[in-house]
Structure formats: C-alpha cells, structure tokens
Structure 1
Amino acid sequence: MSEMDKFDYIELIVLDLKGTTDINFQVKVGEILRRYYTSINKTYEMPNSSGGDDKNDGWVVEDQLFYQIYSPQQIKESFRKDMQKKYLDDFSQLLNLIYNHGKWGKHLKKFVYLVNTIDRNLPHDSEGYFKLHCEKLGEKYGEKFEYEVTNVAYIRGILENMDIDGLRSISTILRLKSIMDFNAISAKTMYEVIDGLSGMIQEKVFSNVEDKSYDRISSVKKIELNNLTEKKVEIEKMIEQLDIVEKMISTINQDLLYSDKFNRVKGYIISTYNSLSDTLSGTELYDKLIGEIIEYAEFNKGLIIPCKLLVIYIFDRCDIFEKDEHIIKEVTM
C-alpha cells in the first residue's frame, strides 16, 4: 500500500462533496474554506446555521467576500430556474442585511454562489441572468459588486493550493481517509496516461529529433513461450517504440499533484492480467488484456496504439506473461 499524494486527497474530498446534499454540503464546504483561509492568514467565519444564517453561509472578513452554498437533494428538470431563483433571493436578502441593517462590516465586495451540480456541469446562462441581476443590485445600493457562479470545481482549485498536511487534516475532519483505496485508479487517470502517450507518439512522428533507443529486456523467446507467435510482428514493432513510454513516464513523474500516476496504471494492468490469466492464455489473453485497457479510451479508437504500447512496455519489463528465465538472469546479473 503506497502513501496518498495530493491527487488522492483532492479526488477523495471532491468526490465526497459531490455526493453530499443540503446542510451537510454547506458544513463540509465551510470546513474546507475555514482551513484554507486560515492557511493564508485570513479569517473565514461561518454563521451557525441552526440559528438562521441570514443568507450568509460564510464570509472572509478581510476580503468582504461572501459565500452562498446550495446543494439540492436531487437535480430536477427545474434545476436551472431553481438555481437562478435562489441566487437572486439570497443575494438580495444578504445585501439588505449588510447595507440596511449594518451586518458583517456593512460592505460587500464579492458574492460567490457555490452550487453542487453533482456529476453535471453548471447550467448554461446564455441570457446572462446572473450578471444582469448583480448589476441591478449594484445600481440599487450604489455599489459595483463582483460575483461568481461556480460548482465544486471552485473547491478543487482551493484544494490544489493547499499543502498535503492541510489536505490530510481536511480528509480526517470529513472522516474520509479510512475509506480511500490507495491502489485505486480512476478512468480519468488511465485516460490521461493514454492520451499523453498518444501525444508523444505524434510528437515523435512529426519531429526531426532522434530519441534515444530503448533498452529491451525480454527476448523473442518470451513471445514464443507465451504462445504469442501470431502477434510476434506487432509485439516486436511495439518494443522498438518503447522509448516513447519511458519519455512519458519521465514527464508524468514531474506531476506534483500525482507523483505515483504511472505506477497506479501499471498496477492496474498487472492486476487485470492476473485476473484474466486464470482462465485465458496466449493470443486470447493478449487481446482481452488490451481490450480492457482500450475501454478507457471508449469512442476514441485512435488511441488503440498507445493502449498497446502500455501493455507491451509492461510485457517487456516482465511484469506480465511468463518470463524467459534465461534472459532475466542475464539482465539481473
């Protein structure tokens, strides 16, 4: 089991938020914002919701930045209109309390309307509803307000600016760390690796720069040993291009958020191979394994080649399929 990195914590927290509704979403977002603003020496206050929040779900004292946080129990057909109505009602009432009743410093600079859209994007705002009403309210109070309508992506951005200790603290407070599968891999991660590899293939094809050759580990005997003779030409051609995979690995290892990305992908492929090899062998096993990886590039069959390169790289490193023991001894001596 490997240690969690920033990517793990961020994905875990964001996924949990998307599945949370009503007051629980507001409380969790508030905890995240409070810890974030504390880390940058600012004050985030969150009114006690049980006593009525007066349309203020939280505010940053130094910035006069106010949050309204909305997470419906389900996304209905009327979601777009519901979202607009809540924005206008809450923003209007908040401004009334600030400017007419002297609450919270008697001034507002920015209003952030943070909505949990669960697994969807924000509804379109082609008519400029939010901007229009922000400007109307500004005219009413003789002010020019900033506004932002956003979703959990806003919290993701905040989390990316926190250090790993802060992320650990948040995951502990939200009681999330214990449910994390350290070795899990998301479809997004697999696709990013496949897509990145595809980009490097294209770069190599159209570049005049000579890449260094790949130091092969396996031998032709491994192909024969695993009854893959009919795939021999394909495998040999792939092995000649494995310097592309090594270049890709070097690049993604520089990802500060997710330093273990390739090892997760590699572990998934090995695990899939181990499962399939219980009932399959030879060409059938080879094709099925590649088919499982290609599923992550659904509707984009132009990514078949990078999928195969991934499998062949792990094949050549002798992590999958039966090893040619003679060659392995020579390599390890």
Structure 2
Amino acid sequence: MDRDDKYLSRIMFQNKIYSSDGQNFEDLFTKIMGFRHKDFRAVKPQGRLGDMKNDGYILDTGQFYQVYGPENISTSIENAISKLEDDFDGLINKWSAEVKIEEFYFVVNDKYKGAFVEVHKKIMKLQDIIDSLGESRKIKTGLIVARNLENLLFELNEDDIIAVVGLIPRTHSIYNVDYNCLNDVIQHILNLPSKNYIEEDLFVPDFNKKIEFNNLSKIIERRLDAAAINYGDVETYFKYQGDFLRNEIKNKFVDLYEESKEKIKEDEENYSDRRYMYILEKSMPKNSNNSVQQATECLMAFYFESCDIFEQHILEEVEK
C-alpha cells in the first residue's frame, strides 16, 4: 500500500466505525481480531445462556474481550459503565473456574468522539472503573476504542485490511472507462431507492473551485482529475442513451449525496472525503472489481463536474 491507499483505507474504515452499532460493531471487531491473532475465538450467544459475558478470547494468553457498540456513546456512557461492571463480574463468575483470566478488555465504539471534551471526560471515567476492577481482581485491564481498533487494523497485511474495509480505490490506476462495467454500475444505481426528482439542466461550475469549496483532500482531487479524463466518453455514452437516463442517474447521485450528509456531519473528521467514499461504495454493485470501481468513479467525476453531487449553490454566487 502507498500513502494514498492507506489514507483511503482509513476513510473506508471510519465509515464502517460510524455506521456499526450493536452486533455489526462486534462483527467488525471479531473480524479484525481473527486476522490479528490466529488463536482468537469469537463467542456467539447461545439462547438463554447468551455470550456468558464474553465476546471473544485468546485461551493461551488468557485475554478476554467484551464488546459494546451503542448508537451514540455521548448519551450511552452510563449504560456502558453499568454494562462494564456487570460483564466483568459475570466473566469472572462464569469463566474463571475453567480458564485462567489474565487480561480483560472492554471494547467500546466511541465513533472517534473520545477526543471531544464532554465525551473524553466520560471515557476517562470508564477507564478509571476498568482500572479499579482490574486492581481488585489482580487482572490486567484495558479500554479499546475506535482509534485503538484502527491501529490494530493497520498492523494487518494488505489482503486482510482489504477483507475488512473492502476494495481500495487505487490512486495510481490508469482510468480507462469500460462500457460493459459502466452498464453494470448504471443498472445498479437505477435500482437504488429514489427520493429526489430534479429536471433542471445540469449546472457546470469550475471544477477546481468546486473541489476547494467542498474541502476535498488532494488525494480525492487526484482521483477526480484522473477519472474526469473520461468525461467525453461518459458524455458520448449518455448521448446514445438519451437524456432520461442521464437525469435519472443524476437524481440517484443527488439522493446519495443528501444521504451522506445526513449520516456524515461536518463536525466529523474527514467528513467530505468520507462522503465521497460513501457515495462510491453505495454506487458499486456488490463484489465489484477494479474495473467496475473505475467506471463508477468516472461516472461520479462526470456528475461532479456537471451537477451537484457535492455543493454548488454558493459557487454560483461566487462566480456572478
């Protein structure tokens, strides 16, 4: 992986962290741990027994993990504290007779909000309780949050990282749009749910100004520049398909952009690049290859340049 690949991998992982609650977060954690430690065993709930206060463990080292993935850590921290104390005592009672518990880790999806002052104080309170529980039982304890899980991810090899985050867009790829792949992408996008119905002509802002206005990184800028080389090919494609299809795809992209704004707020880290990756991932059929991914980005670059996948209304005022 080069520097761009690692950056895009991180953006994709951040999107997974922000969208993973409950079981989805537990599945994400156990997947990373399964790659990180070959002896890691995930514990699945079994009827009335549940998971017996243990979501995963490494038997040889006596390391045990309990996972908590609330929708909003800011409003759920007290629940996390209550769950921690209950799970810790339950783990000791249910497992210590069978195995030696050396370490206990509480894994919390704080969605990278541990850096915010109000959340940071609560996270520190959670850490203090974990420390005191460990001291009373003479067990090493620790708290794992999103940034720690990200560090674990990037200790994996490239294939395992891709298995976790998905196909990574390669910035060094040479874009040459494949019409067969473009057809597949368009059919997938057409099947996405519709919300907006916009019929006005496409507005064409200055491409570079639009990138700057939307706070897109240099890495995403390079991708858009490379994909935009194929603007004429995509335009020719729509010329033979008709304006109806062109407008339908535009409406779908606008829907995806509005959806990304609802899910990814401006006060979140890398929000604009994360929105770009969100749209890209939603626009691709499942199990896509590099050619499909490139065709998707060529289509995105076409609409980025000619309409409002990203913001344009202020640019209109600036240019007057």
- TM-score, scaled to structure 2: 0.48
**Which of the pair has more CA radius of gyration?**
1
- TM-score, scaled to structure 1: 0.46
